[in-house]
Structure 1
Amino acid sequence: MTALQDLKFGQWFRGADVDGDGFITQQDVRRMSERYINARATPPDPQTIRRLTQEMDQFWSHAIAPMDQDGDGKVDLREMTEGFKRVLTDRTLYPQQIAPVTNCFFDLVDLNGDGKIDQSEFQQMFDSVAAVPGNDCAAVFAALDVDNSGGLDRDEFHQALEEFFYGNDPDAPANHIFGRVAV
């Protein structure tokens, strides 16, 4: 784990601590998905909502809850950072550890369901949900759109999240997907 990863995880923690009490709880994890659902002009189909809820519950159970070192039902920044240091050590485990939740979020961010996240969808979701300012959203989006197609396909979205959680490149645009990280 590097100083860069500590910064990125701290940025993610601030967004995941939905109620701002300094801890991530199962309720915070559920509220993360509710923010994406509520940011949409029209709600997704019930199956997508159910799938997201199930994946987020599994994310809590398998990734976040085990980081709770003192057994109080909540995870503070130190516990989360130490937990990520133990768990997110092998990029080849991304498909099991993070990809299922990423797929659900992709489906929610792809507001028109065309299989791509365009810049306006990206900006709407990350500005309203993760409080990423518009200028930062535009710059991050442009950098993540590796094929310059004007949209992030599922593979590009996965590459960005994989880089965010496992990567250590200070110049990677994915470092800023949840808000600008001072590198």
Structure 2
Amino acid sequence: MARGAVRAMLAEVALGLFRRDGFDKVTINDIAAAAGVSRSTVLRYFGTKEDAVLGALDAHGEQVADALRARPAGEDDWAALRRALDIVVDIYRQDPDAALTTTRLVLATPALHTRQWEKQHGWRPALARALAERGASPRPEITHTVRAAAALDCLNIAIAHWARSDNTLDLADLLDEAFAALSV
């Protein structure tokens, strides 16, 4: 089995256990036993239980930064950030049921919520660099960092509202609304 397939299988097993038994009650050993692999195999793919749920977030930050760099040069930074975050919206749209289940798990589990924040905090430098590289207008580094942080907060607020709506509200519309709240 290819590395990506093993990682996906382990993540799926872990999520199933977390949903059934609760995040805090499941151990790495439980995940290994349920997946029919050794503890060291699980740890080779995920350093922590949190990473079994949130491991995909690592790649999303660079994907959003790449999308930001690809936005039209004449587009203002705020609009470019909003459109670049469509990468995340599209991920949620691919499998909304799984996204909703995972989002609820993250929001209900302090350790996961904290780890998600840490991972997204790691996106800020990449987004700030991407804004600077767009070069629409020279701005101080702090401006790019603040805009990146605000965009990520808008994303998280939109996702939380989307989850509370039970996927009855459109995530892209909620993200537009969050961005609009800061552009007034």
Instruction: With the length of structure 2 as denominator, give the TM-score of the two structures.
Output: 0.30
Highest CA radius of gyration, 1 or 2? 2
Instruction: With the length of structure 1 as denominator, give the TM-score of the two structures.
Output: 0.30
Structure of higher RCO (CA pairs closer than 8 Å, 6+ residues apart): 1
Choose between structure 1 and 2: higher helix proportion. Answer: 2
